[in-house]
Amino acid sequence: MNIADILPRLPSGKVFNKNTFRKTVRSICQDCSESSINWMLVALRKRGNLISVGAGKYYLVSQDIHAKKLYSYPHSSEYMNLEEIIANAYPLANFQMWELIQMNDFVNHQIVKNVIFIETEPMLVDTVYELLHEKRPYAMIQPTVDVFYKQRAPETDIVVQRLLSEAPSPDANHSCAIEKLLVDLLSPKIPGRLIERSEYPRIYEDVFRKYNINETRMFRYAKRRSLYDVLISFITTRTNIRLMTI
């Protein structure tokens, strides 16, 4: 069976699950094994014919549209240095990082002063902060918005804070998933105070247009942060994004 034969039979314009994919394959080849079905699913994703929009949920990419990419960012040397310091000191630590200048790929008004956020499991917040504070005296630990603006560094700001449970896992190394960043930007805390809200529609639309967004994990994390309704309202009323899972 030619793997391309599956595509015309898959649902178009809506999300479908693995069971639908399995039934489609077996409508063409009744004796197809589960391992072969799994291989075909992986192969079609690698070819860009299918994108994952959640756990076991897929969407057929139109043949006249280029497949979206997984989000990645070439982090600054300061970011890389801090990541190395933490990873070398605590190789088993669960931590994630992102930096504000990542948003320069999407905003009109470019961000000049960087902020590096380091989020780690609660039991290590103090320890990681003390480690970095020795080398970077301006590092801050879980600052309020007021404290953050009073104690900003001459150059790059460093903020160490608690990593919430159910935060999306990094796609590469310790770099936060783009789904997490989209939710955090809507927070009333520091991440949601650093970029003009007028920039938000452009940020969201550019991210969704360029990258493969796992909506399921984005909305799961939004619920964990009590931002689910805020996120849904913003996307549906302030952007032209067409959500696949809602």
Helix (H) or strand (E) run with residue 96 in it: strand 95-99
**Distance separating alpha carbons of residues 1 and 193, to the nearest angstrom:** 54
Phi, psi of 27 (to 5 degrees): -70, -20
Confidence (pLDDT) at 49: 83
Confidence (pLDDT) at 97: 98
Pair type for strands 115-120 and 57-60: unpaired
Pair 171, 70: CB distance under 8 Å: yes
**Distance separating alpha carbons of residues 76 and 63, to the nearest angstrom:** 36
Give per-10-residue mean pLDDT for the chain (246 aa).
84 88 91 91 84 81 64 96 97 96 96 97 97 96 97 96 92 93 96 96 96 88 96 97 81
Phi, psi of 114 (to 5 degrees): -85, 150
pTM of the predicted structure, to 2 decimals: 0.79
Helix (H) or strand (E) run with residue 87 in it: helix 77-89
- DSSP 8-state code for residue 172: B
Residue 90: alpha-carbon gap to chain centroid: 24
Contacts 24+ apart (CB under 8 A), 21-28: 21/58, 28/1
Contact residues for 95 (Cβ-Cβ < 8 A; gap 6+): 86, 118, 119, 120, 121, 124, 128, 163, 174
Confidence (pLDDT) at 164: 93
Q: Where are the domains of the chain?
A: 3-60, 77-238
Confidence (pLDDT) at 64: 45
The residue type at 25: V
Pair type for strands 157-162 and 140-141: parallel
